[in-house]
Amino acid sequence: MDGSGDYQNEIVGIIGIFDGEVPYLKRGSQAKLYPGKWCIPSGHIKKGETPETAAVREFGEETGYSIADASELKKLGSFEYNVEAGKSTIKLNISLFLYMSDSKPEIRMCDEHTDSKYVSIELLSDQEKLSLVSRARGAEEFTPIDRLLIERYMPEAYRMYKSASVSRMKSTA
């Protein structure tokens, strides 16, 4: 996380929508940031990688699903996020991508995570519904970054998913 070695403080996150559901991973207890919290597949950009290449690599490493071509990703946005780590602040530059597929693969996690699940994109894009469901299930915890992503980007991801679904339906009719 300190920006040394092969990694930078440049991060990619991938909202994957598979048949209307988004994969979430539970961070392991050894995670430097937000252990035990739920997050979308994400990770550091290695030196020399483009954000798109890093997104494809990270998604594959963390879910076992291979995105065939980085051109299948849609950029949702970029933003800075400051993380308090002990007595210091780490500034992360985050690039967020969307990937959509009609099929829903089994998630094959790496050792960084302890659990996985799919969550409905429709639920994630509706703050009121998500809050009610989360409270009813014991308030599953998302990382602070993921709470921001849900609030700021999930409604747009849902709109894009619905638009793409309508287009696919029209082209097969």
CA distance 71 to 98: 11
Longest dimension (CA), the chain: 59
Which uninterrupted H or E stretch holds 53? helix 51-63
Q: Which residue did the predictor score with more confidence, 124 or 58?
A: 58
pTM exceeds 0.85? yes
Task: Quick: pLDDT tens for 14-56.
Answer: 999 999 999 999 999 998 889 999 999 999 999 999 999 999 9
The sign of the CA dihedral 3, 55, 16, 61 is: negative
- Judged by average pLDDT, the poorest of 41-50, 107-116, 131-140 is 131-140
Q: How long, in residues, is the chain?
A: 173
**Every domain of the chain and the residues it spans:** 7-172
The CATH architecture one would assign to domain 7-172 is Alpha-Beta Complex (3.90)
CA distance 124 to 67: 23
Q: Which residue did the predictor score with more confidence, 27 or 136?
A: 27
Q: Are 70 and 57 in contact (CB under 8 A)?
A: no
